[in-house]
């Protein structure tokens, strides 16, 4: 009888440990990745067969890790689909490794004969044939309930529309309705442009080899790749240093700011964050930010709310709630300014905007704020007002802006910048970061963090579960907390964005049941995945 892959994860983690240690992930073209492979083989004497072994064995672990999050009934059989190139070779290694470390049945369907594979792939296929059931067939297999599909049909070398029989195989995968993991890149997706020229696999997870491909983050890439994990295949650091691209994809090992805390630390040393937010329209948003800040390690969190807003007892009694005069309107106003300036002077970092509303009186308050010599983060309606009065940045030098696409559009217009739209999110974020001299976090699937120095980081974590009200407020609180703890703005933003996404992958809420309140409670577990000192 088969069993849940959860019971095999401990073994898989031990087995995987020899493959960890990859550094920051530069985005590369398919051609550049092939060049790095060739350099590794020719200049460093590492056989291509070993690179393929590392790729497939690392992918097998990531597949088991993903499958362990699903109910047993959804993982009754691993169905591996192999093409005729090196991507097919990776598929044979994956099938063999899953067979060796997991008691769930493994079957492999080959879209072309083993005899037509390249030498390294053929060698791995012949090894896999000794243990794994392989069916060579021109037509795609018939899938059944409980199948977990692994796509190793087409790699990054394919250009144009998939030809027969691969077009039929891809269509069958997409119509199956079952979980799908793609190896290196979803079959049919252009690894350079992110375009599709016919059918392409829609994956729930893509395990990419060596370095992430630039087509994964542009065009249709984000939509088709699902979650993204990267596997170190053994390319030497000297080879990786040849990649000059300033765009990186952020993975777990890139988060280095959650180090050991001093044994004699106290709340005063762990940062004091002030959240200025809330209104009669949105009373819960600033509480989500404040709660997330505490869960992310801030020593003190003060929350400034308009006095006339009726709010329930906070979820966390440790939040210091300050009720600010508002003239009875339920929005901050000009008469709120003095109290807010006094509170800001005592804090290490300030978050402005969650739930603040767009009433004209709020504009009057912002015009009177005076916050200098400390990090300030602008979020939500604070960003919309900043777009209308960009000169506020002259009076309140800011560290981080966190717009969603609609807010970004308004900011670009307000600062007289060209709007490249969703088609080039990296260009939009970079332009605003450079213009405002502020780290810019453009939220959305594959959140982009751009710094004024030109660095661009695309996030790899997260699920559609984040598409629910309040998760942006959680992120603002997390970044504010890291800023208050003394982490520099770019690193604070990149770390918070990754942890925020990782938290959505944890728990038992799926992609439909997660709320922003749940997300706050998952933050410590996400940080503990990254650091033993979290």
Length of the chain: 534
- 196 touches 222 (CB < 8 A): no
User: Three-class SS of residue 106?
Assistant: strand
Give the pLDDT score at 421.
Answer: 77
- pLDDT digits 0-9 by tens, 295-339: 999 999 999 999 999 887 778 899 999 999 999 999 999 999 999
Q: How far apart are CA 274 and CA 383, in angstroms?
A: 17
pLDDT at 12 over 90: no
DSSP state of 8: G
DSSP state of 142: P
Query: Could you tell me the pLDDT band of residue 469, with boundaries at 50, 70 and 90?
Result: very high
Q: How far apart are CA 169 and CA 84, in angstroms?
A: 13
Segment holding 360, helix H or strand E: helix 360-368
Give the pLDDT score at 288.
Answer: 97
pLDDT at 18 over 60: no
- Can you name the residues that pair with 303 across neighbouring β-strands? 275, 321
Q: How far apart are CA 466 and CA 472, in angstroms?
A: 9
Which of 154-168, 175-189, 313-327 is the most confident on average?
175-189
Give the pLDDT score at 404.
Answer: 97
Q: What's the token pair of residue 510?
A: 């799926």
- 408 touches 436 (CB < 8 A): no
pLDDT at 87 over 90: yes
Give pTM, 2 decimals.
0.92
Q: How far apart are CA 295 and CA 303, in angstroms?
A: 15
Give the pLDDT score at 470.
Answer: 97
Give the pLDDT score at 24.
Answer: 61
Question: Which residues are CB-contacts of 279 (< 8 A; sequence separation ≥ 6)?
Answer: 306, 309, 330, 331, 332, 355, 356, 357, 359, 362
C-alpha 481: how far from its chain's center? 19
Nearest alpha-carbon partner for 153 in 93, 91, 83, 92: 83
Question: Which residues are CB-contacts of 392 (< 8 A; sequence separation ≥ 6)?
Answer: 366, 367, 369, 385, 386
**Which position has the token pair 């780290």?**
439
Q: How far apart are CA 77 and CA 384, in angstroms?
A: 50
- 488 touches 463 (CB < 8 A): no
Average pLDDT of the chain to the nearest whole number: 92
CB atoms within 10 A of CB 418: 11
Sheet holding 133-136, edge to edge: 133-136, 106-110, 77-82, 147-152, 180-183, 205-209, 227-231
| Domains of the chain, first to last | 5-249 (3.40.50.10260), 267-398+456-491+500-530 (3.40.1190.20)
Strand 448-450, strand 439-442: pairing: antiparallel
pLDDT at 408 over 80: yes
Q: What's the token pair of residue 232?
A: 């170190």
C-alpha 179: how far from its chain's center? 19
Pick the more confident residue, 21 or 243.
Answer: 243
pLDDT at 260 over 80: yes
Cα Rg of the chain, angstroms: 25
Q: What's the token pair of residue 139?
A: 């037509």
Give the pLDDT score at 6.
Answer: 40
- Can you name the residues that pair with 90 across neighbouring β-strands? none
Q: How far apart are CA 122 and CA 92, in angstroms?
A: 9
Q: How far apart are CA 287 and CA 290, in angstroms?
A: 5
pLDDT at 21 over 60: no
Task: Please give the C-alpha separations between residue 421 and each of 47, 386, 406, 412, 425, in angstroms, as whole numbers.
Answer: 44, 19, 10, 10, 7
- pLDDT digits 0-9 by tens, 218-254: 999 999 999 999 999 999 998 888 888 889 999 999 9
Query: Could you tell me the pLDDT band of residue 157, with boundaries at 50, 70 and 90?
Result: confident
Is-cis flag, bond preceding 289, omega within 30? no
Give the pLDDT score at 181.
Answer: 98
Q: How far apart are CA 276 and CA 352, in angstroms?
A: 5
- pLDDT digits 0-9 by tens, 108-143: 999 999 999 999 999 999 999 999 999 999 899 999
Q: How far apart are CA 70 and CA 264, in angstroms?
A: 42
Task: Please give the C-alpha separations between residue 113 and each of 96, 120, 136, 163, in angstroms, as whole numbers.
Answer: 17, 15, 6, 16
Give the pLDDT score at 507.
Answer: 85
Q: How far apart are CA 322 and CA 340, in angstroms?
A: 9
User: Three-class SS of residue 81?
Assistant: strand
């Amino acid at each position: 009888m088969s069993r849940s892959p959860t019971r095999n994860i401990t073994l898989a983690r031990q087995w995987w440990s020899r493959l960890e240690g990859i550094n920051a992930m530069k985005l590369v073209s398919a051609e550049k990745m092939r060049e790095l492979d060739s350099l590794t083989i020719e200049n460093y004497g590492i056989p291509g067969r070993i690179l393929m072994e590392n790729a497939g064995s690392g992918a097998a672990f990531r597949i088991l890790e993903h499958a362990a999050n699903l109910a047993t009934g959804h993982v009754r059989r691993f169905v591996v689909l192999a093409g005729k190139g090196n991507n097919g070779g990776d598929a044979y290694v994956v099938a063999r490794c899953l067979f060796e470390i997991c008691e769930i049945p493994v079957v492999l369907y080959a879209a072309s004969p083993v005899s037509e594979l390249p030498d390294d792939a053929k060698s791995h296929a012949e090894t896999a044939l000794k243990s794994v059931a392989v069916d060579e067939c021109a037509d795609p297999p018939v899938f059944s309930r409980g199948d977990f599909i692994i796509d190793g049909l087409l790699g990054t070398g394919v250009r144009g529309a998939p030809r027969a029989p691969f077009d039929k195989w891809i269509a069958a995968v997409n119509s199956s309705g079952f979980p799908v993991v793609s190896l290196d890149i979803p079959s049919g997706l252009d690894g350079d442009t992110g375009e599709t020229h016919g059918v392409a696999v829609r994956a729930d997870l893509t395990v990419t080899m060596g370095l992430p491909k630039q087509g994964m983050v542009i065009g249709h890439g984000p939509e088709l790749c699902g979650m993204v994990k990267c596997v170190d295949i053994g390319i030497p650091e000297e080879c990786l240093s040849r990649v000059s691209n300033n765009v990186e994809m952020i993975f777990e090992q890139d988060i280095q700011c959650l180090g050991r805390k001093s044994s004699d630390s106290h709340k005063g040393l762990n940062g004091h964050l002030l959240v200025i937010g809330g209104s009669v329209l949105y009373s819960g948003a600033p509480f989500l930010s404040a709660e997330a800040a505490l869960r992310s390690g801030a020593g003190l969190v003060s929350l400034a709310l308009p006095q006339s807003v009726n709010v329930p007892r906070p979820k966390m009694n440790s939040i210091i709630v300050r009720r600010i005069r508002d003239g009875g309107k339920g929005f901050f106003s000009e008469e709120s300014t003095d109290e807010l300036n006094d509170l800001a002077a005592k804090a290490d970092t300030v978050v402005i905007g969650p739930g603040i509303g767009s009433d004209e009186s709020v504009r009057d308050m912002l015009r009177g704020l005076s916050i200098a010599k400390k990090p300030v983060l602008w979020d939500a309606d604070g960003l919309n007002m900043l777009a209308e009065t960009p000169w506020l940045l002259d009076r309140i030098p800011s560290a981080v802006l966190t717009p969603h696409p609609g807010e970004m559009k308004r900011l670009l217009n307000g600062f007289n910048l060209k709007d490249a739209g969703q088609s080039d999110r990296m260009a939009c974020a970079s332009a605003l970061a450079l213009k405002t001299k502020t780290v810019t976090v453009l939220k959305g699937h594959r959140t982009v963090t751009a710094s004024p120095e030109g660095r661009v980081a695309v996030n790899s974590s997260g699920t559609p579960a984040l598409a629910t009200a309040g998760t942006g407020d959680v992120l603002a609180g997390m970044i504010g907390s890291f800023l208050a703890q003394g982490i520099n703005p770019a690193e604070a933003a990149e770390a918070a964005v990754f942890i925020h996404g990782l938290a959505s992958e944890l728990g038992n809420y799926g992609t439909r049941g997660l709320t922003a309140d749940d997300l706050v409670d998952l933050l410590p577990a996400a940080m503990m995945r990254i650091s033993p000192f979290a």
